[in-house]
Amino acid sequence: PSELKANMKIKSITPRPPRKPRLERAASLDEKSWRRWRRFRTSQESLTDPNETSSSNGSLQEASLSPPVRGRASPCQQNSLQSSPDASEDSPMGKSRGGTSDLGKRASEISSAFGGLLRGKAFAGGKPRLSQIMPARPLPPMELNVASHTLRTANRIDSDYMDYRHYSQHKFGRVSSSLSDTRLHGNGMVYDNCSTDSMKSTFSLLTPIRSKDVRSRSYLEGSLLANGALLGAEELSKYFPDRNIGIFVATWNMQGQKELPVNLDDFLLPTDPDYAQDMYVIGVQEGCPDRREWEIRLQETLGPHYVMLYSAAHGVLYMSVFIRRDLIWFCSEVEYATVTTRIVSQIKTKGALGICFTFFGTSFLFITSHFTSGDSKVNERKLDYNKTIQALTLPKNVPDTNPYRSSSSDVTTRFDEVFWFGDFNFRLNKDRETVDSILNQNPGTDVSKLLAYDQLTSEMSRGSIFKGFQEADIHFRPSYKFDIGKDSYDTTSKQRTPSYTDRVVFRSRYRDDIQAVKYSSCPVIKTSDHRPVFALFRVKVRPGRDNIPLAAGQFDRELYLIGIKRRITRELQKRQEQKDQKSSSICSIS
């Protein structure tokens, strides 16, 4: 040390306490000084190695800029580190410093001598202590993930959903979430990517609700365009951007048969178009004895995406209204009324049944009827129509959306959209042989020659019935009268003429609000002498006010549970039958 005093100057290095407490025994002042000299030595050796990639600037700065600690220095420090700025200027090393290699060599000698003193004093009588090995390069960052491999596998997000996440953010602009990453970080929670994505609900299509909007108004009353209104324009545009909904309307005379079709898919879910409708309204005349079983079959066919909003009956006239479960909150209370057209009112086989409600700001009326039968009883059928529009007392509590265009003598004028369907019993004014010859000449969909003899088409053109109503173009064969279980028309002794008795007509307060998409029959259902007839519509919907009596999500829960349970049971039975069929083997003897 005496030679080094004259050759070089070393700034005073004093130890300082660690920044964070460590769970280890308290080190002496000599040990702390030794550790700092070890860092100094490592930094100096890195200067001599041109291939070293790690920088030593941080170590040198820490050693030179460390603040002095007031206290008593060790004897080794007093003997070997007696230097000052004045001495450094007078020493030869202060004026002319050597190269990097000389500096590294001298630093190595100093550390060796200093280490010997420490080993003789600080560690005398103890076990030898190995020096800490410092890595040449910084260690790679550790992944802060406490989730097990099984948990991460269970929470793994499919690539299809990742694509949907990008699409939903681009389409719906839902980038923010109620639980952000910064809140998770700030709370010091240990998390991984899977748990964060799950908690943020990034894939949800539900629009975030601001507490400010909830505070500003009540959900039981509000203006037409109020922000956050349940039936307002904002909510309507979110569910129906083009403000059009799809409605399926069907009518079927079941002829009172107890036997129901095995499968109703072809009836309720036709393959054209590809998508199911938003609302299903089915009217039945001469319905089966077990009405509840019929409703269960409808629920089973439509599946869990639909719920029965309402159903009503008038004798053997049934009507069921199914709607997508997401849309039940936008419906008003449902009301119904009935009319009996027979002279003896106790016999409820002929008459009408009406159901009405408001969806957003558009009022709907659905009427199913069974008019008087008979080839020549056209006037009686017109009387049935007139009695129905006058005696059907609707609406009751739901307010009229446009009372200035309503009439007290015609129920169909008190609603925005009206659909009237049923067995109207209008026939073809032609004999059986002529009708059969026309059908045989045109086995396809060209039935224009038959419609020239249609009673209903003729009466509607005159304006004597269904005033203001329209009917889509007919491109299907007559729906009446078939032999049960067959595709042939009546082969009995009566030889009834095939006719278009089952029809669907519609009217609207506003022009072009209702667009007919499809109008057809279902020839595969053969349990009755009538074929079911259905029509698909696109209907324009307008926003409304929240001050109407709301249904508040009411639906037939019991029917929903029974239908879904039966749907699952039938599917399991079908799979078991297929499994048994594959496992069975047939032995043949030659």
Per-residue pLDDT at 17: 66
Beta strand 362-370 pairing with 417-423:
parallel
pTM here is 0.65
Cβ contact 288:257 at 8 Å: yes
For residues 503-507, give the mean pLDDT.
Answer: 98
Task: Compute the half-sphere exposure of residue 513: CA atoms within 13 Å on the CB side of its CA.
Answer: 18
**230 pLDDT higher than 80:** yes
Cβ atoms < 10 Å from Cβ of 469: 15
Per-residue pLDDT at 488: 94
**458 pLDDT higher than 90:** yes
Average pLDDT for the chain: 77
Per-residue pLDDT at 578: 83
Per-residue pLDDT at 85: 41
Per-residue pLDDT at 573: 85
How far the first Cα of the chain sits from its last, in Å, is 112
Write out pLDDT tens, residues 181-192.
Answer: 333 344 444 444
Q: Which residue has the higher pLDDT, 156 or 313?
A: 313
For residues 151-178, give the mean pLDDT.
Answer: 45
Write out pLDDT tens, residues 387-440.
Answer: 999 999 999 999 999 888 899 999 999 999 999 999 999 999 999 999 999 998
Per-residue pLDDT at 537: 97
Report percent pLDDT > 90 for the chain. 50
DSSP code of residue 478 = -
Let me know the angle formed at the C-alpha of 142 by 136 and 144, rounded to the nearest 5 degrees: 165
Answer left, alpha or beta for residue 151, where phi above 0 means left and psi between -120 and 50 means alpha: alpha
**304 pLDDT higher than 70:** yes
Write out pLDDT tens, residues 237-269.
Answer: 989 999 999 999 999 999 999 999 989 999 999
Per-residue pLDDT at 186: 41
Per-residue pLDDT at 344: 67
**334 pLDDT higher than 70:** yes
Per-residue pLDDT at 581: 81
**175 pLDDT higher than 50:** no
Q: How far apart are CA 459 and CA 473, in angstroms?
A: 16
- pLDDT band for position 580 (cuts 50, 70, 90): confident
Least confident interval from 208-217, 219-228, 539-548: 219-228
Write out pLDDT tens, residues 509-568.
Answer: 999 999 999 999 999 999 999 999 999 999 999 999 888 999 999 999 999 999 999 999
**496 pLDDT higher than 70:** yes
Least confident interval from 36-40, 259-263, 481-485: 36-40
Cβ-in-10-Å burial (0-12, 13-18, 19+) of 21 comes to exposed
Per-residue pLDDT at 547: 85
Answer left, alpha or beta for residue 365, where phi above 0 means left and psi between -120 and 50 means alpha: beta
For residues 183-202, give the mean pLDDT.
Answer: 41
Which residues in 509-584 belong to E strands, given as ranges? 514-521, 533-540
Per-residue pLDDT at 586: 57
What's the CATH fold of domain 233-567?
Deoxyribonuclease I; Chain A (3.60.10)
Cβ contact 401:547 at 8 Å: no
**Residue ranges per structural domain of the chain:** 233-567
Q: Which residue has the higher pLDDT, 47 or 341?
A: 341
